[in-house]
Amino acid sequence: MNRYIIIHYGEIYLKGGNRKFFEDKLIQNIKLALDELGGVKVKHIAGRIVIPISQQWDLDLAKEKLLMVFGIENFVFAWNSQQDYKSIEENLYDLIKDKKFKTFRLSTRRNNKNFALKSNELDRDLGAMVVEKLKKKVDLTKFDLNCHLDIVREFAFICFDKIDCRGGLPVGTSGDLVCMLSGGIDSPVAANMMQKRGSRITYVNFDSYPSTPKESQEKVKDLVKVLNDYQPESKLYIVPFLDIQKEILKIAPPDYRVIFYRRMMYRIAEKIAQKENILGLVTGESLGQVASQTIENITAVNEVVSSPVLRPLIGMNKDEITIIAKQIKTYELSIQPFDDCCSLFVPKHPVTKADLQKISKTENGWDYEKLQNKAIKGSQIITSFK
């Protein structure tokens, strides 16, 4: 029997007249993800994406890669039988006779209505065969082995437990966004959550070298390398921020420093977004998690940009964010003990309810545009993360 990967998608079914656009992008992303396996051929058959498996493929690697493709609901490694009852029965028996299980469930989908037996008849007859020959019990709820039979077009796919993925939309279907990426836990998760909604991410990191270590830059590059598994290509801007922080030390009240830092970060990120023809920004803010993330302070920072600012973590707590960080393999990088610009010159008691009038009065006459333009011009742009 030849082997196949059968991929199912969920949310894309709801896209109506635009569905083909999403399907085509998903197929393109799957091909890119599996490219290193070599010889990837993809067929779109009756709402399924079907990929013939070559003998030389590393199936563990294929699984790892597919788990990172947004838009996939689940997939299975399947065997294709000849589409007649006798062949299906023989092949199913050969596939399960050496498996260790006491109870099983068999479920059939018969997309090809020309096949002689209906789905419930196949379940009945094949299930009876397993009971008789292998002395196993049928249990539709608490089963050890879940068998699937998919009769579609000329295929009769036999497969077992499905591998669940994260769903979402294919990256590249929802436009581009700029994510302000620190070396912490939150912002990589925020970027990944927007990738899940179909956005391609450009990253902006604010760096205070030499007051912060060079390893801080390398950590951010490594984070982007991990996030690159979810989208084909990325661009990272590393923006020199130390001179701006030193100027803020001169003009801002100590308890307002972080607010001024973030206002400048937002301004610079928006300018970079405009340069890249990108319409929105992403941050890793979670309401109330730290002093700068109170509703008053978020309002004071957000005021400096006209672009929409997306905050996918806004209602999540640290434990919830950490769980996702571990799932997407950014957590171990994020907790490396290298300080970034956010930890530099931080006051002991930062303001939690910023006064916009006080901020405007302090910024009056301050040539922040000169500073932001200099920082953007001095940015390092990285596109390779090998």
| Among the listed residues 221, 252, 257, 246, the one whose alpha carbon sits nearest the alpha carbon of residue 236 | 221
Residues 155 and 44 both lie in one domain: yes
Residues 193 and 151 both lie in one domain: no
What is the number of H-type helices and E-type strands within the chain? 13, 15
pLDDT value, residue 291: 84
Does pTM top 0.85 for this prediction? Answer: yes
Residues 116 and 204 both lie in one domain: no
Q: Is residue 248 part of a domain?
A: yes
Residues 243 and 151 both lie in one domain: no
pLDDT value, residue 252: 93
> CA angle 309-311-314, nearest 5°?
140
Q: Is residue 170 part of a domain?
A: no
Q: Are 15 and 60 in contact (CB under 8 A)?
A: no
pLDDT value, residue 183: 87
Structure tokens at 92: 């199913």
Q: Which amino acid is it at 369?
A: E
Tell me the residue range of the domain where 211 lies. Answer: 176-382
Residues 121 and 252 both lie in one domain: no
Residues 156 and 222 both lie in one domain: no
Largest Cα separation within the chain, whole Å, is 88
CA distances, 58 to each of 37, 123, 209 (Å): 7, 32, 42
Q: Is residue 169 part of a domain?
A: no
Residues 124 and 220 both lie in one domain: no
Strand 200-207 and strand 236-240: the pairing is parallel
**Using CA atoms, how far apart are residues 348 and 350, in angstroms rounded to an integer?**
6
CATH number of the domain that residue 99 is part of? 3.30.2130.30
Residues 142 and 220 both lie in one domain: no
Structure tokens at 110: 């018969």
Q: Is residue 151 part of a domain?
A: yes
Q: Are 321 and 286 in contact (CB under 8 A)?
A: yes
* Domain count of the fold of the chain: 2
Residues 200 and 90 both lie in one domain: no
Name beta bridge partners: 239.
206
User: Burial letters for 210-235: b for 16+ Cβ neighbours within 10 Å, e otherwise?
Assistant: eebeeebbebbbbbbebbbbbbeebb
| Chain centre distance of CA 146 | 28
Mean pLDDT per 10-residue segment, the chain (386 residues): 94 90 96 92 92 94 96 97 96 96 95 93 96 96 95 95 94 97 95 98 93 87 95 93 94 93 97 97 94 93 97 97 96 85 74 94 93 96 90
Residues 138 and 224 both lie in one domain: no
DSSP H or E run through 261: helix 257-275
What single DSSP character describes residue 56?
Answer: T
Instruction: Please say which residue of 129, 164, 199 terminates a domain.
Output: 164
Residue 113 sits at φ, ψ, to 5 deg, of -75, -5
Residues 316 and 211 both lie in one domain: yes
Beta strands in the chain (DSSP E): 2-8, 43-45, 48-52, 74-81, 103-110, 137-138, 145-152, 155-159, 163-164, 176-180, 200-207, 236-240, 280-282, 309-310, 380-382
Strand 145-152 and strand 155-159: the pairing is antiparallel
- Give me the helix-helix angle, 368-377 and 242-251, nearest 10°: 170
CATH number of the domain that residue 316 is part of? 3.40.50.620
Instruction: Please say which residue of 131, 164, 197 terminates a domain.
Output: 164
The C-alpha R_g of the chain, in whole angstroms, comes to 27
Q: Are 69 and 34 in contact (CB under 8 A)?
A: no
- Dihedral angle at the C-alpha atoms of 174, 177, 182, 187, nearest 10 degrees? -30
Residues 157 and 200 both lie in one domain: no
Q: Is residue 98 part of a domain?
A: yes
Residue 192 sits at φ, ψ, to 5 deg, of -65, -35
Q: Is residue 222 part of a domain?
A: yes
Q: Is residue 93 part of a domain?
A: yes
Name beta bridge partners: 149.
108, 158
CA distances, 129 to each of 113, 121, 137, 138, 148 (Å): 23, 12, 11, 11, 15
Q: Is residue 331 part of a domain?
A: yes
Instruction: Please say which residue of 164, 191, 209 terminates a domain.
Output: 164
